[in-house]
Copies of this chain bind each other. A is one copy, B any other.
């Protein structure tokens, strides 16, 4: 693990997700920005002292040189270190599981995509929301045509933790362009919403118009984004990402409508997918319930009605990564049905951030996402 030392929220999430299904053991790390704090965190996590590294470059080299060196690394640092850390491990042929957004610039994203293409190692991006069973269900239903031709996409991701100026460690680096990149809310949560909508619908907008705001005085990056989307097919969409909406917690919501029906999913109740075939009663589709698409059972650990949530969704990313890594190690193709997000999702995310910035600079005019 790179990053994720003491006080890091997301580091513990990655560790639990990795541990959940018994597929990973944490044996090495460069957990913090100083050797001392890294060592301290390592000790607390049961990492042997000789495998606690001062930085990720050391770690990549040293682990690659060991017979029992790590097979995969998780990168959960602030955004600006994703690229150099991923580069270091990919260069050693070590599989990379990386947090999002993938990089802090579109240029880096292109470069990383190229490195992945040339590497034997796998690159997995933890767009964890796309691994919720009912999100996979939605994707499968759209793919098989249950909604007909898609017309409308409504996606939003609303939080309230930046309603006021905050001095928390989280808020600090996420609000600093040098560490977070050019996107505030659009990078932190907008990329999740964008990826989720694309993942479920199987299409990405070719044009977007973005109206970005920074409501809190002194804030350097956007804390709210109101976005219109246009798809090549003629479909239309809206995306709202906000970190200043009091009362929302981690409010990711997706609604998709076609000419035959609609689907609705909300992160607050992630195990329910509403299916609304036109002219018929709404159906409440539940994780592991009736109508679950074949093959999705592997993403569930318990029967319907035993709430699974965020950590289990995150663990699904790790489980899929493990499956893909095993297949790669065996020289086999990964089994059908894996849908682990990777470098393409990361690149698309950076195109999205870039397009938001460009559109906003032009008074929210529509711009091409991937020019």
Contacts and interface: CB of A to CB of B under 8 A. Distances in A.
Interface in A276-296: 276-286, 289-291
A163 B213 contact: no
Interface string A195-219: 0000000000000010101010000
B247 A228 contact: no
Contacts of A308: 309-311
Given A246-B276, A309-B308, A236 B260 contact: no
B9 A20 contact: no
Interface string A240-275: 101011111111000101111110100111100011
A267 B301 contact: no
Contacts of A211: 209, 228, 230, 236
Nearest to A239: B238
A46 interface: yes
A89 to B, nearest CB: 23
A364 B366 contact: yes
A306 B309 contact: yes
A329 interface: no
A364 B244 contact: no
B151 A224 contact: yes
A247 B262 contact: yes
A21 interface: yes
14 contacts: A151-B213, A151-B244, A163-B278, A209-B364, A228-B364, A242-B257, A246-B258, A246-B279, A250-B303, A267-B307, A283-B284, A302-B310, A306-B310, A307-B309
Interface of A: 9, 12-13, 15-16, 19-22, 45-46, 151-152, 154, 159-161, 163-164, 209, 211, 213, 215, 224, 226, 228, 230, 234, 236-238, 240, 242, 244-251, 255, 257-262, 264, 267-270, 274-286, 289-291, 301-312, 363-366
